[in-house]
Structure 1
Amino acid sequence: MAGAQFVVGHPAPPLRPFVDRYLGYREPAPHPLIRTEVAGAFVVLVLGWGAPLDVVDPRAAERAAYGVDSFVAGPFDAYCTTSTVGVGAGVQLLLAPLAARRILGVPLSELANRAVAVSQLGDPWLDRLRGRLAEERDWPARFTLLDAALHARLAATGPVDRRLDRAWARLAGSGGRLGVATLADELGWSRRHLAARFGQEVGLTPKTAGRLLRFQRAYAMLARGPLAGPTAVRAGAADAGWAARAAHLGYYDQSHLIRDFRRFAGATPAALGGAGSHSSNTG
């Protein structure tokens, strides 16, 4: 059986504010393969044509998707797991939430903390796109097809509310550190109105989105490689490197950062930094 293949594609420049990257994959799993997928303020879209998988939120099995090759997930405010066996193939996209709102055509409050088969979204265009992707001859051709399809979809759907676009840009630009009161004042909204509008369209409260954005920065820092200088070798060990990073990222202290890692990734930074840790969502 051929080995695993992973190919990263970069969306066309006009799409990059909306789509982080394309990840094409063909991965054999002769035995059950189970992964922990970290939480995030993004939306995961998988368009696949290989072995099906299960996407499960350990907190609530009814929010899971079972036996799917193509699905949309999130945003999630806790980690979930995926499991599969066989040869998986497809493309994974990480979408900014308000871009996902336009691409999918539904408020993200309907998808928060849920995994939903693409075939159940109502509009069949993504299911048709999945079939066309499977028929393409190679990854560059698939990525070109995705560029065209997403550009057309976004061109046909305007922003839900430009003030929400501004709110997301400010929150993401601050790495989740911008306070909700400050954000509401900048928009000329009450905190209650901001929470209601943001929650409806983004699927998260501004406070939770800020926590996830902050965590994503910390997780990406971990994924880039070993920390400079001494690193912790056991969960809960004192680590000046992570303590400094916690302060830089806007956490109260290192314990605060570790609590978020346990909730959003299911493990401490020290455990995730060890050999064998993996998530396909690198933040």
Structure 2
Amino acid sequence: MAEDPRHAPSRAPQPDATTVLVQHRVPADLGGEVIRIVGYRENGHALAHAVEMAPLAVPLIVGFGEPFRIALGRAPTADERYNSFTSGLYPGFVLIDSTGRAECIQIDFTPLGARRFFGIPMCEIARRMVQLDELGDPDITDLRDRLGEHGDWRHRFAAVETLLRRRLAAAAPRHGATAWAYQRILASHGTVRIGALARSLDCSRKHLNQHFGEEIGIGPKATARMVRFNRALTIARRAETADWAQIAADCGYADQAHLVREFRAFSGASPSALPSFP
């Protein structure tokens, strides 16, 4: 909730619900690690639904209002409530329900930026929802408490910037080989062969997978699939009428059936359902 943002607005807003999004410009010195900082407030009373499709961002959400109901790959239950939370990369779709009374600040990190900010192996938070209390991180707990005390966005954003700068300045540098491989996957739109990456780095695929688990959260193959899907999704959204066979060819899928399978895996629906998504 880069190009590939996570957020929590309704896919089908109810007539009595209004949503306020307050975008905060990411400072230049944080740009390589942070994708987006945004404030979010709902002023409604009707249940709303949203879907996130294979986002290539790691969000940190600090909530001040009603919690969201969130689940990975399926509809959330009434007990799956999250107010302040994070979630690492997940090669699939995320379903979000809101009562219309949520309020939060969201910081979207690049996967490599999240590794530096959190200071833990990204595989520990990948493929799952994580309440902030589970992290046991005093800095993050303190940020949540301080943001809750501020009633205006300006002071909230200032507190966020202060923590981001302090943590990232003290963080370990990026793992060079993994960062290079990740950038190659992005540059190739997910079509580079993982074996070729391993050979370029003079390491085994197993070794590369281990490093990706620690630094990115998921393996290089799953990462490449997400990147390729996001490219296909971007092309389709920009087209007046999506030519799925051509998109499949342009994005390196074996055929249109391959694209459809990937689309279902990452969005929970077929490509024909694209107009109903945000």
TM-score, scaled relative to structure 2: 0.85
SS of equivalent to 1:159:
coil
Q: 2:233 aligns with which of 211, 214, 219?
A: 219
CA distance in 1, matches of 2:154, 2:236: 30
SS of equivalent to 2:126:
coil
User: How far off is 1:61 after superposition?
Assistant: 8.0
Q: 2:223 aligns with which of 209, 218, 229?
A: 209
Count of aligned pairs between the two proteins: 263
Q: 1:265 aligns with which of 258, 264, 267?
A: 267
Q: 2:60 aligns with which of 45, 48, 64?
A: 45
8 Å CA contact 2:24–2:37 kept in 1: the answer is yes
CA distance in 1, matches of 2:234, 2:151: 32
Q: 2:153 aligns with which of 139, 154, 173?
A: 139
- Does 2:119 align with 1:113? no
Partner residue in 1 for 2:212? 198
CA distance in 2, matches of 1:185, 1:212: 22
Q: Which amino acid aligns with 1:23?
A: V
CA distance in 2, matches of 1:104, 1:65: 26
Partner residue in 1 for 2:9? none
User: How far off is 1:75 after superposition?
Assistant: 0.7
User: How far off is 1:29 after superposition?
Assistant: 4.2
Let me know the Cα RMSD of the aligned residues.
2.5
CA distance in 1, matches of 2:270, 2:166: 41
Query: Which 5+ residue runs of structure 2 have no aligned equivalent?
Result: 1-15
User: How far off is 1:43 after superposition?
Assistant: 1.4
8 Å CA contact 1:222–1:273 kept in 2: the answer is no
User: How far off is 1:135 after superposition?
Assistant: 3.7
Query: Which 5+ residue runs of structure 1 have no aligned equivalent?
Result: 232-238, 279-283
- Does 2:46 align with 1:31? yes
8 Å CA contact 1:159–1:165 kept in 2: the answer is no
Percent identity of equivalent pairs:
37
CA distance in 1, matches of 2:218, 2:79: 20
8 Å CA contact 2:235–2:247 kept in 1: the answer is no
8 Å CA contact 2:41–2:103 kept in 1: the answer is yes
Q: Deviations over 1:219-254 (max 9, x none)?
A: 23445x5x14xx2xxxxxxx6x23222222222222
Partner residue in 2 for 1:253? 255
